[in-house]
Amino acid sequence: MPESATLTDADRVALWLASPEGTAALRWSLEKLRLPVAFDTDLVGMVIHAADRMVQRGDVIESVPAWTRRTLRLRAIDLMKSPRGRPAFIQPEDVDSPAGAGTDAADAAELVAAMDLAEIRREIAGRWDDRSGWTRSASLTYLSVAIDGCAPGVSCPAPIGGADEFDAAHWAGLHYADQRQCFAPFGERDDNTIRQRRKRRIDDVRKILVDAYVRTQADGSGAGDHG
Amino acid sequence: MAELLPDQQYIGEWPDDTAELVLLGTTPGPAGSYELQLDTITVAIDAADPSIVNWITGVEPAGERGAFNWSLLERLIGAEPTRSTIALLRTDDRVRFGPPLTTGPQRGAGWETERQATMMNIIIGMSLAADAGLLPYERALGRLEAFQRMSELWLPRDLDDWPDRVHEAAVDLLDLPPNRIDPDVRDLVATVFEQTASLLDDQLLAARLRRMAIALGPAELFVASEQAMDFEKSVRGAGAAAPARAAMAPSPMPVPAQQPVEVALHSLSYLAALKVPSINRTSGDEYEVRLTDWAGRADGWWVRGFRGNDAVPLAVVPMSIDGDDAVARFLVAPSQAASLVVDIVDDPSHARPSAQVAAFRAAIASGKRAAQLERLEQRPQAHDAWQRCSELHTVAGDESRASAAAAKAAGADRTRRRAVRGSSTTAVINDWIGPVTPETA
């Protein structure tokens, strides 16, 4: 398979930025606004990030040089402006994945035991998108409780009995990710709907953890920084 | 018709491979730019000296080469530069960096007419109304104030979506709680309500806004409406369902942090309003980030906790509302907390910027604050803000802007400031309301 067929548009943008033409465009973008040369790495990072988001959305970059030149200019201009208000992404109620789609708790237990935490954490946070935001947030909290041994605060709900040792960590993950709809109001008992919803969301978090683990193993990153 | 922007030199940039025309004026100063997008045209003016145009860009509608909104461009930059721009676009031999499109007095000569001053206020007003950290009604007030000024200049006739824009912003005004408006700016807000009503096609909505304007007007009526709201609340409270868990759960008691937690300079609350959150350890491993009186301003924002030495992400949690405050809580183990760095972002997929870029963005925020304080004629506070702006530009490695900000702080630029003030330094409504108020400088 030719190399070009395996490259994403974001890869092509990164390659163009490394070319003499791209380097010149980068330098010109900084000079035009009298920005320090030391900002070049940040600017490249911002442009590649924008290209990644295009790929995630399924948008196509028709002309890599044109798109990259324009994005370089816009990102440099952004530094001159106040941050814009951005509509908050609302998690729709009906986006739960089907029940039982996750891994079982025992798998997760084995998994976390072998984790290279630093790389896993980078992997989880590095693949952020609006739709998966809360699951990634909950996954990071899960690691803090299950692996680092953090004790949740007094307002965090905890399973009462019959739960496995990692359930409390998952509950903490959902709580700190502000998934309030997964718990009954204070003083009330969970009904079946809430229990099912919580289970589905915990499954979603497990999937993120498994995916991050698999990816870090595939990347070969990994000798043991356990935090 | 008089040109709305001062006669300046522009350099036209028309890359072969993009459908975008860029007219470069002057590079932004220490406070960056205010930017306004109208139709497909964007105008940026200098925040430190709004009489200077930083750039104008225009994008062609898809598939229509050369089909800019010429009428609007002419109104913004004048007839002659527009003719020169058209000539530049039509030439077969497109040059990336063309000759100056027009020549005239030195840049920064000041806004020569009231129309130019109005245009400056429109750009500042619309730019501030788009900033992060505003409540929906504050954003709507800012936009509607600018819309009113735009209608004075007959700009709406070039904008197809004008009625929709006005209607959308007017609907957001309906959420405005009268008791949230400072008595000092009630008249100003009431004026925006009145003016908005006159712009609306929807007579029902217009009538409702006029009633709200009356309620905001005389003090007696204002107090009466406040009491009515309190009464409504008490009635609703009597029959309300059981309060949510968060409201009833025992309040966590702050325990002393082992060491101060560093808040990154690029945090949104700082860039939007120079607001630094408080950070407390609320239990053994739980930390709380709190923006006091910011309920609703930080919706959709996230707090990230990083290990400082190698930037490993330890926690990313959403901000939520807790009474009048915006709050986020997260867990960090004691072994990781020693070098904990916290930032606040609206898109956690963005990498942390370098220290220089973070300082640069903070410097721009401080410069914008200084410019705002100048519009409010609060000179001592403006001096301090320019000084801070200068220090941050030095940290960012931008000596040129550091010097410019220091000159502002020292009052060395008084002449130009007077020239600008001579035509207009009228504060726009978002200078008075919003996350940064004059008292919290």
Q: Which of A182, A154, A138 is nearest to B315 (CA)?
A: A138
B window 391-420, beta carbon within 8 A of A: 396-398, 400-401
Asked if residue B149 has pLDDT above 80, the reply is yes
- Chain A to chain B Cβ contacts (< 8 Å): 221
CA-based nearest distance B292→chain A, Å: 19
For the ranges B2-16, B124-138, B187-201, the maximum mean pLDDT occurs at B124-138
> Across residues A37-42, what is the average pLDDT?
96
- Percentage of chain B beyond pLDDT 70 is 73
The 10s digit of each residue's pLDDT in B367-409 is: 999 999 999 888 899 999 999 999 999 999 999 999 999 999 9
Q: Which of A31, A59, A80 to mutate to test the interface with B (most CBs of B within 10 A)?
A: A80
pLDDT range class, residue B6, cuts 50, 70, 90: low
CB atoms closer than 10 angstroms to residue B136: 17
pLDDT range class, residue B230, cuts 50, 70, 90: very low
C-alpha span between B65 and B69 (Å, rounded): 12
CA-based nearest distance A102→chain B, Å: 22
Candidate from A35, A69, A125 with C-beta closest to B316: A125
CB atoms closer than 10 angstroms to residue A209: 29
> Which H or E run contains B11?
strand B11-13
Asked if residue A35 has pLDDT above 90, the reply is yes
Q: State whether residue B340 sits within 8 Å of chain A by CB.
A: no
The 10s digit of each residue's pLDDT in B287-317 is: 999 999 999 999 999 999 999 878 899 999 9
Contact B96, B15 (CB under 8 A): yes
Q: What pLDDT is attached to residue B154?
A: 78
Nearest-5° angle of CA B123, CA B344, CA B141? 30
> Across residues B208-221, what is the average pLDDT?
71
C-alpha span between B94 and B78 (Å, rounded): 23
The 10s digit of each residue's pLDDT in A56-103 is: 888 999 899 999 999 999 999 999 999 988 766 555 554 444 444 445
The 10s digit of each residue's pLDDT in B43-62 is: 899 999 888 888 888 876 55
DSSP state of B33: E
Q: What pLDDT is attached to residue B46?
A: 92
C-alpha span between B373 and B431 (Å, rounded): 8
Asked if residue A47 has pLDDT above 60, the reply is yes
C-alpha span between B319 and B275 (Å, rounded): 15
Contact A92, A198 (CB under 8 A): no
Asked if residue B419 has pLDDT above 70, the reply is no
> Across residues A161-181, what is the average pLDDT?
87
The 10s digit of each residue's pLDDT in B247-280 is: 334 444 445 555 788 999 999 999 999 999 999 9
Q: What pLDDT is attached to residue A108?
A: 59
Asked if residue B133 has pLDDT above 60, the reply is yes
Q: Which of B318, B327, B424 is nearest to B377 (CA)?
A: B424
Instruction: Locate all alpha helices (DSSP H) within B184-293, ordered by sequence.
Output: 186-199, 203-216, 219-238, 245-248, 268-273
Q: What pLDDT is attached to residue B67?
A: 61
Q: What pLDDT is attached to residue B111?
A: 45
Q: What pLDDT is attached to residue A107?
A: 57
Q: What pLDDT is attached to residue B7?
A: 61
> Across residues B126-135, what is the average pLDDT?
94
Asked if residue B281 has pLDDT above 70, the reply is yes
Candidate from B22, B252, B346 with C-beta closest to A153: B252
User: What are the distances in angstroms from CA B252 to CA B255, B282, B320, B359?
Assistant: 9, 6, 16, 34
The 10s digit of each residue's pLDDT in B321-360 is: 999 999 999 999 988 888 899 999 999 999 999 999 999 9
Q: State whether residue B286 sits within 8 Å of chain A by CB.
A: yes
Q: What pLDDT is attached to residue B25?
A: 80
Across chain A, what does the average pLDDT equal?
A: 83
Q: What pLDDT is attached to residue B100?
A: 43
Place of tokens 């006029």: B210
Contact across the interface for A53 and B349, Cβ inside 8 Å:
yes
- Percentage of chain B beyond pLDDT 90 is 37
Q: What pLDDT is attached to residue B227?
A: 38
**Selected residue with higher pLDDT from B122 and B180:** B122
Q: What pLDDT is attached to residue B295?
A: 92
**Selected residue with higher pLDDT from B420 and A136:** A136
Q: What pLDDT is attached to residue A27?
A: 95
Handedness of CA A69, A70, A71, A73 (dihedral sign): positive
Contact across the interface for B27 and A34, Cβ inside 8 Å:
yes
